[in-house]
Structure 1
Amino acid sequence: MHTSFHRYNPMIRKLESIFKLTEDERQALENLPMQVAVIKDDQDIVREGDCPSRSCLILSGFTATYKITAGGKRQIVAFGIAGDIPDLQSLHLKVLDISLTTLTPCQVGFITHEALRDICTRYPRIAAAFWRETLVEGAIFREWVTNVGRREGYNRMAHMLCELLVRLRVVGLAEDHTCDLPITQSEFADALGVTTVHVNRVLQQLRADGLIKLKGDRLNIPDWDRLKEAGEFDPAYLHLENNQAAA
Structure 2
Amino acid sequence: MDVTQSLNLMIRKLEGFHPLSSADKDLLQHHSRTIREIPARQDIASEGDRPDFVYVMVSGFACRYKLLADGRRQIMAYMVPGDFCDFQVFILKERDHGIATLSNCKVVQIPAESVLELTERPAIARAFWWATLVDEATLREWLVSIGQREAEVRIAHLLCEMLMRLRAVGLVEGNSYSLPLTQADLADTMGMTVVHANRMLMSLREKDLIAIDGRQVTVIDVRRLEEFAGFNPNYLHLQAGSTPKPAARQAGDDKNPTLQPM
- Report if TM-score (shorter chain) is over 0.5: yes
Aligned partner letter, 1:234: N
Partner of residue 253, structure 2:
none
Shift of 1:19: 3.3
**Unmatched 5+ residue regions in structure 1?**
none
Kept in 1, the 8 Å contact 2:6–2:82? The answer is no
Aligned partner letter, 2:193: T
Partner of residue 120, structure 1:
119
CA distance in 2, matches of 1:152, 1:120: 41
Write the mapping of 1:1-247 to structure 2, written as runs, cut at 5 A.
6-9=4-7, 10-121=9-120, 123-242=121-240
SS in structure 2 at match of 1:201: helix
Shift of 1:244: 7.7
Kept in 2, the 8 Å contact 1:17–1:242? The answer is no
SS in structure 2 at match of 1:205: helix
Aligned partner letter, 2:195: V
Q: Percent identity?
A: 41
Aligned partner letter, 2:202: Q
SS in structure 2 at match of 1:104: coil
Kept in 1, the 8 Å contact 2:210–2:218? The answer is yes
Kept in 1, the 8 Å contact 2:6–2:59? The answer is no
Shift of 1:61: 0.7
Shift of 1:241: 3.3
Shift of 1:178: 1.6
Shift of 1:55: 1.0
Shift of 1:105: 0.9
SS in structure 1 at match of 2:93: coil
CA distance in 1, matches of 2:175, 2:136: 26
Aligned partner letter, 1:30: Q
Deviation larger for 224-233 or 15-24: 15-24
Deviation larger for 6-15 or 60-69: 6-15
Pick closer, same or farther for the CA change 1:159–1:48 going to 2, 3 Å: same
CA distance in 2, matches of 1:124, 1:145: 32
CA distance in 2, matches of 1:25, 1:110: 18
Shift of 1:174: 1.5
CA distance in 2, matches of 1:18, 1:206: 34
Deviation larger for 193-202 or 88-97: 88-97
Shift of 1:21: 3.0
CA RMSD of the aligned region, Å?
A: 1.7
Pick closer, same or farther for the CA change 1:73–1:57 going to 2, 3 Å: same
SS in structure 2 at match of 1:183: coil
